[in-house]
Amino acid sequence: MKKYIAIVMGGFSSEVNISLKSGNVVYNHLDREKYNPFRVHILKGKWFALDDEENEYPIRKNDFSFTKNGNLITFDCIFNAIHGNPGENGELLAYFSLIGIKHTSAPFYQMALTFNKRDTLSVLKEYGIKTAVSVYLNKGDVVDLEHIIGKVGLPCFVKPNNAGSSYGISKAHIKEEILPAIETAYKEDSQILIESFLNGTEVSVGVLEYKGKVKVLPITEIVTENDFFDYEAKYEGKSQEITPARISLEEQNRVEVIAKKVYKILNMSGFSRSEYIFVDGEPHFLEMNTVPGLTEESILPQQAKEAGISLKQLFDNAIESALD
């Protein structure tokens, strides 16, 4: 019997349109001989399922079901394609856990942890994972520019703590640029972090559970035309994403070992894509994305393609792993 799959997409953050694009790609590539997929939009004030004819059906929040032509539709599994809040930060997944529906992401605590950049860094540093030097601020804190510069140096990066797709991130080259960068970050989140600039080759490493084993996908090198890998570079063609990365075999082996170690330290499951920068040959962890972009052009699907894994196989594996 075919499994009913809800592909949740949308969300409450600035990444809503990116999520809708990812979710539609998943919908178009799922095996119709195995699954009955429905797109489910999770938006502020409105949750609804869409059928093939684009008809909308309100979702009942007590059990995540809906009625179509008099028939009650319930789901066997949720495919999580929501970037940001509430899909990537664990909130929606805690709800699914409470009502007993399986999903393709890691458990809600792992999702909440990895979405919080500061908490993720704090955990990984205890295991000896190299990172940038950082300063943490909450909205309302006194900003001591001399202390910040003394600790992280210039240039530095100012980032929202809980945000994705490079929204709210700025690179401050001089002291006078730090305060405006902080204000930009606070537009996305009330918690921010300021990190030292790491000068080196940036790579993106996909790690996932594939056929029951933790697998590191071919590594992607990020070469941006902009000052850093910002929204424009990610989504508007202002970067080169080279897979496999132009790094030595020794560097490849080193970052693969660390990426797999990070995945296991954080008790991850499902998809992940993490960014590292090589400094003097040593990979430094930047952040982990647990709902990475899933369009044909996105980094993780490109890495899977290089590994000989089609989108159909990639998405099927995610569902089968969740249902196992």
For 34, half-sphere exposure in the C-beta direction (CA atoms, 13 angstrom radius) is 13
Instruction: Count the Cβ atoms, other than its own, within 10 Å of residue 208.
Output: 25
Please tell me the distance from the alpha carbon of residue 91 to that of residue 299, in angstroms, as a whole number: 25
CATH superfamily of 134-196: ATP-grasp fold, A domain (3.30.1490.20)
- Please tell us whether the domain made up of 3-105 is placed in CATH 3.30.420.10: no
Q: Per residue in 9-63, pLDDT tens?
A: 999 988 899 999 999 999 999 999 999 999 999 999 899 999 999 999 999 999 9
Q: Per residue in 69-82, pLDDT tens?
A: 999 999 999 999 99
Q: Across the strands, what pairs with 5?
A: 37, 77
Q: Across the strands, what pairs with 7?
A: 39, 79
Give the chain's radius of gyration (CA, Å): 20
Correct CATH for 113-130+198-290 of 3.40.50.970, 3.40.50.620, 3.40.640.10, 3.30.470.20: 3.30.470.20
Contact 21, 295 (CB under 8 A): yes
Q: Express the helix, strand and coil content of the chain in percent, nearest 5 each.
A: 30, 30, 40
From the list 234, 225, 233, 224, the residue with the least C-alpha distance to 22 is 234
DSSP letters for 195-250: EE---SEEEEEEEEEETTEEEEPPPEEEEESSSSS-HHHHHSS-EEEESS-S--HH
164: helix, strand or coil: coil
Residue labelled with tokens 């999520």: 19
- What residues does each domain of the chain span? 3-105, 113-130+198-290, 134-196
Contact 285, 124 (CB under 8 A): yes
Residue labelled with tokens 């990365």: 245
pTM listed for this prediction: 0.91
Residue labelled with tokens 């940038």: 132
Give me the pLDDT at residue 308, please. 98
pLDDT per residue, tens digit, the chain (324 aa), is 999 999 999 999 888 999 999 999 999 999 999 999 999 999 998 999 999 999 999 999 999 999 999 999 999 999 999 999 999 999 999 999 999 999 999 999 999 999 999 999 999 999 999 999 999 999 999 999 999 999 999 999 999 998 765 788 999 999 999 999 999 999 999 999 999 999 999 999 999 999 999 999 999 999 987 665 555 545 556 679 999 999 999 999 999 999 999 999 999 999 999 999 999 999 999 999 999 999 999 999 999 999 999 999 999 999 999 998
Give me the pLDDT at residue 237, please. 60
Burial of 305 (0-12, 13-18, 19+ CB in 10 A): middle
